[in-house]
Amino acid sequence: MTATKVTDGQVVSMQYTLRVDGKVVDSSEGGDPLEYLHGAANIIPGLEREMEGMAVGESKTVVVSAADGYGEVNEEAFIEAPVSEFPEDMPLKPGVEMELTGPEGEPMYARIESVEGDVVTLNMNHPLAGAELHFDVKVVGMRDATEEEMDHGHAHGGHEH
Ligand code: ZN
C-alpha cells in the first residue's frame, strides 16, 4: 500500500526554495527535485516535522527557527590564528571560505570572520547557524522506500550508494 501523505518510510520528492532575510540561499528550481527519506533525519528537524502529513501537489511555507535548523551560533566555534599560518596567496579578508583539516583528518569548513593586525579570526559555525530559515516547499512525488534505502537511512537517487 502506498501512502498518500508524507510519513515515515516514504521517499519524498520536493521542490524547495530557502530564503534567509528575504534572500534566496538555496533552491531546487531549475533542477531535479530533492529526494529524501522521511523520518530518517535526512533534512533539518524543523522542516521534516512540517513535511509530515503533506500530500503530493501540496505547497507550504515553513519557517524554521535557528534552533530547529542549523543551530544557534556557537561562540566556541570561533578560533584565532596568526596570519603566518595561512598560505601566502590566500586573500585574508572577512567572508573568505576555506576547508581545513581537523585532528582526525576530517574536512572542516571555516570562513574568515575578521582580520585584526596579524590575527585572523575563523568562524567554524555552519554558514546558516543562527539564521531563521524560510522554506517554500512543494511535494512533487512520493513512494515507499526500498528495503535497502531503509537499511541505509537515506534515499537512493541514482548517484548514491
Ligand atoms: Zn545508500
Q: For position 2, what pLDDT does the model report?
A: 67
The residue assigned the cell 590564528 is 81
The mean predicted confidence, pLDDT, of the chain is 93
Instruction: State the pLDDT confidence band at 76, using cuts at 50, 70 and 90.
Output: very high
> What cell was used for 134?
524560510
pLDDT band at 161 (very low <50, low <70, confident <90, very high): low
Q: How far is the CA of 94 from the centre of ligand 1 (A)?
A: 38
Q: The domain spanning residue 147 has which CATH number? A: 3.10.50.40
Same domain (yes/no): 136, 61: yes
With pLDDT > 70 as the criterion, what percentage of the chain qualifies?
A: 96
24 pLDDT above the threshold of 90: yes
For ligand 1, the distance from its centroid to the CA atom of residue 124, given in whole angstroms, is 28
Q: Nearest-CA neighbor of 14 among 134, 143, 128, 127?
A: 143
- C-alpha of residue 133 to centroid of ligand 1, in Å: 28
The total number of structural domains in the chain stands at 2
Separation of CA 54 and ligand 1 centre (Å): 25
Same domain, yes or no: 116 and 92: yes
Of the candidates 109, 123, 128, 140, the residue with the CA atom closest to the CA atom of residue 19: 128
Whole-number Å distance, alpha carbon 130 to ligand 1 midpoint, is 31
Residue 119: inside a domain, yes or no?
yes
How many Å lie between the centroid of ligand 1 and the Cα of residue 43? 16
State the distance from the centre of ligand 1 to the C-alpha of 34, rounded, in angstroms: 16
What pLDDT sits at residue 112? 96
Residues 27 and 51 in one domain: yes
pLDDT for residue 93 is more than 70: yes
* Structural domain boundaries, residue 136: 10-70+129-152
Q: Say whether both 61 and 80 belong to one domain.
A: no
The answer to whether residues 65 and 36 belong to one domain is yes
Q: How confident is the model at residue 103 (pLDDT cuts 50, 70, 90)?
A: confident
pTM for this prediction = 0.78
Distance 39 CA to ligand 1 centre (A): 15
Q: What is the mean pLDDT of residues 37-51?
A: 96
Express each pLDDT in 114-154 by its tens digit: 999 999 999 999 989 999 999 999 999 999 999 999 999 99
Cα 68 to middle of ligand 1, angstroms: 25
Query: Distance from the CA of 66 to the center of ligand 1, in angstroms?
Result: 29
Q: Looking at the structure, do residues 16 and 57 belong to the same domain, yes or no? A: yes
Inside any domain, residue 2: no
For 66, phi and psi rounded to 5 degrees? -55, -40
More confident residue, 101 or 141: 141
Check whether residue 64 and residue 139 sit in a common domain. Answer: yes
